[in-house]
Amino acid sequence: MKKGVLDILKGKFLVSDEAPKNWLFIIFISFLATVMIGSSHSADKKVHQIAALNNEVKELKSEFVDVRSDVQYLKLESKITEVLQKDELYPSEAPPEKIKVKSNKVN
């Protein structure tokens, strides 16, 4: 046991007769570690993108509510009357009259 640990610490497994098998395993493990690290970075990047998009959605919803309330205010009759008075246009004091048209159809 003690000799096995010392051999690993000294690196004898890399120069022994069975070294090519060990090197292939080390290369394989290194490749797997690289893939795992890359995958982790990719997942973190996507999490940050999702958080940024969620913040943007919240901001756009807030802006939508603000604009909608502004539009509703501008559609009020009192506001329209106020804007038209600046151009010297006033609401009619007489109610509208219905126009009836008689047709001259021949049956």
| pLDDT tens-place string over residues 1-21 | 677 788 778 777 777 777 777
Q: What gap in Å lies between CA 104 and CA 17, rounded to an integer? A: 116
The reported pLDDT for the residue numbered 24 is: 85
- Please tell me the pTM assigned to this model: 0.55
Confidence of residue 35 (pLDDT cuts 50, 70, 90): very high
CB 50 within 8 A of CB 44: no
| pLDDT tens-place string over residues 36-77 | 999 999 999 999 999 999 999 999 999 999 999 999 998 998
- Percent composition of the chain: helix, strand, coil (DSSP 3-state, to 5): 75, 0, 25
Is 107 a residue whose pLDDT tops 70? no
